[in-house]
Amino acid sequence: MRKPQERLKDILDAIAKIERYAARGQEAFEQEELIQTWVLYHIQLIGEAAARLGKAFHESHPEIPWAQIVAMRNVVVHEYFGVDLLEVWRTVERDLPVLKHQIEALVKRLEELGYGG
């Protein structure tokens, strides 16, 4: 079983991969299917990693919007053809930078506490 810190680093890795292509801008995202697919796939990974951290971990770290992260993953997976790309882009621009900061702070806090998982 993977440790929480490994799952948190999975989230940070997925965010970094999204950032790489989001840097091309909204127009590229709207026009290039491969970028859309890339971003959606990594949003799935973020949600999956978040879900697998478990309820107890979520409750121990309520500053992070775990339910919304998992819900976004569920929308991407189960309502794929109904995904609103404008809302996905807003998530990339507005929410991912905040989430990145929160996860980085959490990883640092866990490391300082010597939390092994």
The residues that are catalytic are 73, 78
Q: What residues contact residue 80 under an 8 Å CB cut-off, 6+ apart? A: 40
Matching residue, tokens 């997925």: 14
Q: ∠35-36-41 over CA atoms, to 5°?
A: 100
**Paired tokens of 83:** 């995904």
Q: Is residue 103 a contact partner of residue 12, using CB atoms and an 8 Å limit?
A: yes
